[in-house]
Amino acid sequence: MERYVEHAIAAGLTELGFSDHLFMYWLPPDQRDPALGMAEWEHDFYVEDVERCRRQYASDIVIRLSTEADFIPGHEARLESILRRYDWDYVIGSVHFLDGWGFDDSRFLSGFDTWDIDALYARYFDLVGASAETGLFDTIGHADLVKKFGHRPTSDQSEVYARLASRLANAGVCVEVNTAGLRKPCREIYPNPDLLRACRLGSVPITLGSDAHAPNEVASDLDAATKLIHDVGYASFVKYASRRRTTVRFAQLGQLGEEASPSA
Ligand code: FE
């Protein structure tokens, strides 16, 4: 974790959020894949580690405590009870599973063969909308993760995107601009420009994330994210502390700007 922080400082970041995976909480412990996220007994240690980094680097960078949690319909109460144990600065909500199928896991790629891709997209985005409506999450992680392996819809998605954006806006969540997609077969930031534009038109705020799974991925492709954000017309992004938003306006094209007043 120290190496992640040091990479963030070297990259010029002034604020960094850790968001390790709170994963597979809906399964009995012996059925969870330990490679995919923290075991429940690790949560205390993770939070302590983030707090230790926060103290250690207090004069160099602001460190936020977050987690990325799966949305699984029917298990909201269980998730809520786990989330309530810690003082998160923000919680990222993600859809990685459709009816138990880990569609973003390359071991289960053949699952795509059983789907009409347009129908899959519709089902996936419906779940993303439902995740926002739980009220458990502050921002939606990699909101079009379904494209990860390059499966693209054949039909126009503009209505799907507009409906999702309106659900996100009504739920009061942000959408994460996540550069990890550039490192995946889809070779595209999450969300794609059309979905992000729909979010902007629907007044859904954005958060920024590199979804780093290694220290040198911290802040990766931040320039590409900044360009995308400007191209679709966002003038600000938000960041979180104690689950409250601060809006940060872009001072000028291509630059991460100065802080504006806190908002709801
Ligand atoms: Fe994820």
How far apart are the C-alpha atoms of 119 and 121, rounded to whole Å?
Answer: 5
AA identity, residue 191: P
Instruction: Between 39 and 214, name the one with better pLDDT.
Output: 214
Going from the Cα of 154 to the center of ligand 1, the distance in angstroms, rounded, reads 25
Going from the Cα of 92 to the center of ligand 1, the distance in angstroms, rounded, reads 9
Q: DSSP secondary-structure letter at 259?
A: E
Going from the Cα of 106 to the center of ligand 1, the distance in angstroms, rounded, reads 14
Q: For tokens 């921002």, what's the residue?
A: 139
Going from the Cα of 175 to the center of ligand 1, the distance in angstroms, rounded, reads 13
Residue 68 exposure: Cα atoms within 13 Å on the Cβ side? 21
Q: How far is CA 239 from CA 23, 53, 197, in A?
A: 23, 19, 20
Closest to 197 in 3D by CA, of 150, 238, 165: 165
How far apart are the C-alpha atoms of 168 and 164, rounded to whole Å?
Answer: 6
DSSP, collapsed to helix, strand or coil, labels residue 50 as helix
The pLDDT confidence band at residue 263, using thresholds 50, 70 and 90, is very low
Going from the Cα of 96 to the center of ligand 1, the distance in angstroms, rounded, reads 7
Helix (H), strand (E) counts: the chain:
7, 11
Q: For tokens 């003082």, what's the residue?
A: 87
Going from the Cα of 33 to the center of ligand 1, the distance in angstroms, rounded, reads 14
Cite the beta strand spans of the chain per DSSP E: 15-22, 62-70, 90-94, 97-98, 101-102, 139-140, 174-178, 206-209, 236-241, 244-249, 259-262
pLDDT digits 0-9 by tens, 234-250: 999 999 999 999 999 98
How far apart are the C-alpha atoms of 104 and 85, rounded to whole Å?
Answer: 28
pLDDT digits 0-9 by tens, 138-176: 999 999 999 999 999 999 999 999 999 999 999 999 999
Stated pTM of the model: 0.94
pLDDT digits 0-9 by tens, 99-122: 999 999 999 999 999 999 999 999
Q: DSSP secondary-structure letter at 113?
A: G
User: Has residue 264 got a pLDDT over 60?
Assistant: no
Closest to 63 in 3D by CA, of 5, 136, 123: 5
Across the strands, what pairs with 185? none
Going from the Cα of 225 to the center of ligand 1, the distance in angstroms, rounded, reads 17
